[in-house]
Amino acid sequence: MPDVISFSAMLRERSSQAHSTSEHAGFMSDLMSGEGTRDDYIALVAQHWYIYEALEWAADRMKHDPVAATFISDKLTRLPALESDLEFLVGPDWRDEIEALPTTRRYVDRIRQVGTMWPGGFVAHHYTRYLGDLSGGLFIGRLMARRFGFETNGIGFYIFEDIADPKAFKDVYREQLDAAPWSDDEKERVVEEVLLAYRLNTELFEDLARAKAETAA
Ligand code: HEM
């Protein structure tokens, strides 16, 4: 009898290369290694604001879809934390100070597109961001806090106050992925959309590096 691999395990396996590429993108690895600056960190927070505004708008659209709704939880909502972080990091006029980079605009367009018409695609984007935030994100937040002397202001995005046990939360999330009533074709489309989400994250790091080089020039 062939081994049967769960959809969540398959998704993780099929995206592990893309994860590694994203994780090791220069802009991100500089931030992690200590070569990135506080301004670099702020530039990333600003792009997150656009992405989560789209993602949480899409979640609101999708909350009545029977499959998508099982993944949506107020405990994950990041937009208010991002807004407090930007207020702290940039100041009260932060909205006038930030601008979406080209990849962010493409990323946001794609999230809004799937958010109006494709629950599986929405789940793909939801999974790529929130499960990442509940995994490496927790570590990134602690590292940025130590590096730039933040306590909670400035890294609120990485603090999930309503999720006491991220591992247990992720286990339930994976069970929900496994229980989603998707055909094999639909599962394949979801995997492809997760790979697209990873590519967009990697390209965003490339945009951030380019924008930094242009400012320095
Ligand atoms: C420096 C950057 C990063 C580090 C250090 C990191 C680290 C990690 C680690 C250690 C895990 C495994 C946790 C576990 O086994 O439960 C993980 C999982 C994950 N990461 Fe990252 N990550 C980074 C960047 C990213 C990026 C940019 C994304 C995409 C936006 C991402 C998305 C994910 C996802 C979706 C998972 C869950 C995979 C699964 O279990 O299905 N990560 N990350």
Among candidate residues 10, 197, 139, 160, the one with its CA nearest the CA of residue 80 = 160
Flag whether 2 is in a domain: no
Residue 97 inside a domain? The answer is yes
Domain of residue 57, CATH code: 1.20.910.10
The DSSP result for the chain, as a single string, is: -PPPPPHHHHHHHHHHHHHHHHHT-HHHHHHHHT-S-HHHHHHHHHHHHHHHHHHHHHHHHHTTSTTGGGT--GGG--HHHHHHHHHHHT-TTHHHH----HHHHHHHHHHHHHHHH-HHHHHHHHIIIIIHHTTHHHHHHHHHHHHHT-SSTT-GGG--TT-S-HHHHHHHHHHHHHHS---HHHHHHHHHHHHHHHHHHHHHHHHHHHHHHHHH-
Give the residue from 22, 56, 27 showing the smallest Cα distance to 44.
Answer: 27
CB of 32 shorter than 6 A to ligand 1: yes
Token pair for 213: 């080089």
For residue 113, the model assigns a pLDDT of 98
- pLDDT digits 0-9 by tens, 144-183: 999 999 999 999 999 999 999 999 999 999 999 999 999 9
Report if residue 1 sits inside a domain.
no
Residue 190 lies in a domain: yes
Quick one: which atom of ligand 1 is closest to the CA of 129?
30
Q: Please give the pLDDT value at position 216.
A: 84
Q: How confident is the model over 47-76, as pLDDT tens digits?
A: 999 999 999 999 999 999 999 999 999 999
Each residue's pLDDT tens digit, 172-206: 999 999 999 999 999 999 999 999 999 999 999 99
* Token couple for 206: 């490339």
Mean pLDDT, residues 4-15? 96
**Domain-embedded: residue 181:** yes
Residue 15, token pair as written in the block: 């995206």
pLDDT score of 169: 98
* pLDDT for the residue 215: 87
The count of structural domains within the chain is 1
202 lines ligand 1 (CB under 6 A): no
- Residue 129 Cβ inside 6 Å of ligand 1? The answer reads yes
- Which domain does 175 fall in, by range? 7-212
Does 4 have pLDDT greater than 90?
no
Instruction: Specify the pLDDT at position 2.
Output: 58
Contact residues for 174 (Cβ-Cβ < 8 A; gap 6+): 6, 8
In angstroms, rounded to a whole number, what is the distance separating the alpha carbons of residues 167 and 66? Answer: 24
Ligand 1, from 5, 19, 71, 143: best to mutate by most atoms within 8 Å of Cβ? Answer: 19
Q: CA 69, CA 58: separation in Å to the nearest integer?
A: 11
pLDDT digits (tens, 9 = 90+) for 82-102: 999 999 999 999 999 999 999
Residue of 29, 33, 107, 135 with the most ligand 1 atoms within 8 Å of its CB, for mutation? 135
User: What's the mean pLDDT in 4-30?
Assistant: 96
